[in-house]
Structure 1
Amino acid sequence: MLNEYKLELLDVSKEFNSRGETVKALDEITMKIPDHKFISIIGPSGCGKSTLFNIISGLDQPSDGELLIDKEEASGTSGLVGYMLQKDLLLPWRTILENVILGMEIIGIPKKEAKEKAIPLLHRYGLKGFEYSYPSQLSGGMRQRAALLRTILYDRDVILLDEPFGALDAQTRANMQEWLLDLWDDFQKTILFITHDIDESIYLSDEVYIMTARPGKIKHRLKIDLERPRKPNIITSKKFIELKDEALTMLSEEVLKSQQMEMQAN
């Protein structure tokens, strides 16, 4: 029998020590993510979204609870998922092709073989002619394409994307959303996507998890029952607007709480 869930967080909590005090960042987070789904996570600043990604990626360990990948305990184990931050983190002294194959090199694929695998994908996904350019010669959107291809070619079933389009202008961001959906559909990865943009979260996702103000909990899981493939004009549909209103109402409550907490702390 196939495993129903690719990734599971079961009552995951995280505490930090700060200036002699214990600060709870996450409080009993439970998420059960099926294979090949696109999941977005939204919440007020400081609610623990990046902390959650650090736990899933193995860069940090939960204080309590379990992290399972394919039903196997994975807490504190790095290298099991692909992880991309908002900054593309391309190495400036390496060409785009050399940057894209970096993950494959890390997992032991010979450089020649890695290049042979990467070049057709660079051509297919909008980077043909830029294989031997350097990051400084590319636009922000093209650098993000290279960084995303590098993450995909690291060849992990679960991909974490932490606000990858946050620094892009509106038009480039819209283009990258379309590009990412094509990539996701082609490679059938499980994607967890952090964003502050409600429209983006609904447009891209199968489900949107809405987190509370710190300590971060799961306030609501919003099922996005919009047909795929999706096109930009869907954002004007009645169903999209209803989903947006629901998410915005819940998120606004938590943003207000977060602002009140910050004022009290100061």
Structure 2
Amino acid sequence: MKNVDVINHYEQFLRDDGKSCSTVKNYIGDVVRFLKWMEADITQGEFNTINEDQFNRYQYCQYSYGLKTATLKRRFSAILSFVFWAQNYGLISKEQLFSYYMKVDIHWDGGFGNTNTCTIEAMEKIEKSIERIVNHAITRFPRWRMTCLRDAVIVLLLFQGLEVEEILNLTLKDLQISDPKEQLEIEVTNISKKLVIREEHADYFRKYLLLRPSITSSKIFINSHEKEIDSKTVQRALNRFTKNAGVRTSIGAIKKMQRQGTSL
């Protein structure tokens, strides 16, 4: 059966089940997004079975985008609803995905503890999350590379003790970059600070500067529309990596930790 026919049958099932028009629209959109992620030809291609590994990798990708919890829940619920329907319809083996429902946590609420604290352990977990997400974006999602690298650099600068406003106001002229063999030294001239970024993190900075478009604005950090970012973007950058790391902290907690003289 072709993908388009499967989707049409599933859509009719949702309508017959009494789902609202908005729910039907959202569920179909979420399923189509998932199938496209699997590189399926929606209009002409034949429907292929879905396995547990594919769904787990899809979850990882969605978490890495820093989406809202409500959006994640809806997307995962829609796919599980589709899988359940496809099993009953005979398109997917029930035995093949028996453990599917046991392992997929669609009730994750983003809560990982107190946001008023930050520890060395939490920062190390966030660093590992940065490495996972950036490497995944570079290898699998080229169009997300600049955004992921930008967010990684922003969080690492927070760890270095820069204030949010200092990060937002950084310009290319502010940086005096020396590049020794093992680390990247950045002289932030407008605020008289010198940052030393370890080699494994310095590569993110170099790659971001290479991918950053040459635009009128001299601000270092911009969005995908080549506009300057704001403080909400900084917060979303931190959220992106803390969620994936399984920890919870805040910009304020990081600043408090820096004032106490603790750093990585």
Superposition TM-score, scaled by structure 1 size: 0.28
Write 1 or 2 for the structure with the bigger share of helix. 2
Write 1 or 2 for the structure with the bigger share of strand. 1
Between structure 1 and structure 2, the one with the greater Rg is: 2
Superposition TM-score, scaled by structure 2 size: 0.28
